Amino acid sequence: MVSNAGDIRQPSGSALVLGVPLSDIAAMDESDESADQALRSLDAELAASIERQQRMREELAVVLRHRAMADLPPGFDASAADLPAADRALLLIFSRVFGPATMAALRELHTAPRTPVDSEFDALPADASEDARQQLAERYAPEIRRQYQDHPSLEDAGATAPRGEAFTMSVVVQGLVELYNPAQIDVLRRVNAILEGDRTSS
């Protein structure tokens, strides 16, 4: 499409792989200036993404180093010490990116006994069937819904995070991927879809 640099023409498919929106491809046909502007914009987006990912890795590295010194963030009592290792590590990640109000809500939340559904999620094998994952998600969603009702700050915790929602949620998602197996991640995705459906229908 771009007619410079020795008339090298890039097919539309390659442009899509690079992340250039369909609406920009026609503009790139029109002039070298439009093409340069689109590519500069893409370069800036890629640079910002690389920077976010690098900061995510730095945050996770800090958590992993601190795990050798303490299993839980400050303020969590003995009941939280019985959490599975993945959950304790996730709380450490939360403590690096969420604000005081969110962490206070999490501390209160973890004073309650764990439920059978929590234990089932912990034990879910990576090769769990789709039916098992869906059933678990359907049992888990009401518990998460109650947690949000009891602690409203948790439902939109990223929006009040000190370092911004995009960075915070990137770190949290990366932490989830590192700590939980694919079936558990899928259950969380299904729970989120159920809760999102509740919001849409209300």
* pLDDT for 174 beyond 70: yes
Is 147 exposed, middle or buried, given 0-12, 13-18 or 19+ CB atoms closer than 10 A?
middle
**Residue position matching structure tokens 């929602």:** 165
* pLDDT for 168 beyond 70: yes
- The pLDDT-based confidence of 51 (bands split at 50, 70, 90) is confident
Average the pLDDT over each of 10-14, 119-123, 182-186 and give the range with the smallest value: 10-14
Q: For residue 162, which of 94, 95, 92, 97 has the smallest C-alpha distance?
A: 97
**Residue position matching structure tokens 């890039």:** 10
Phi/psi region, residue 19 (left: phi>0; alpha: psi -120 to 50; beta: rest), is: left
> Please, what is the end-to-end C-alpha distance for the chain in angstroms?
47
* pLDDT for 200 beyond 80: no
**What integer best gives the mean pLDDT of the chain?**
79
Give CA–CA dist 194/172, Å, rounded.
20
How many CB atoms are closer than 10 A to CB 93? 23
The helix, strand and coil proportions of the chain, stated in percent and rounded to the nearest 5, come to: 75, 0, 25
Per-residue pLDDT of 55-82, as tens digits, reads: 777 766 666 655 544 567 777 766 676 7
What pLDDT does 2 receive? 39
**Residue position matching structure tokens 């792989």:** 17
Give CA–CA dist 117/165, Å, rounded.
29
Contact between 124 and 190 under an 8 Å Cβ cutoff? The reply is: no
Contact between 70 and 101 under an 8 Å Cβ cutoff? The reply is: no
3-state secondary structure of 125: coil
Distance of CA 49 to the CA centre of its chain: 14
Secondary structure letter of residue 171 according to DSSP: H
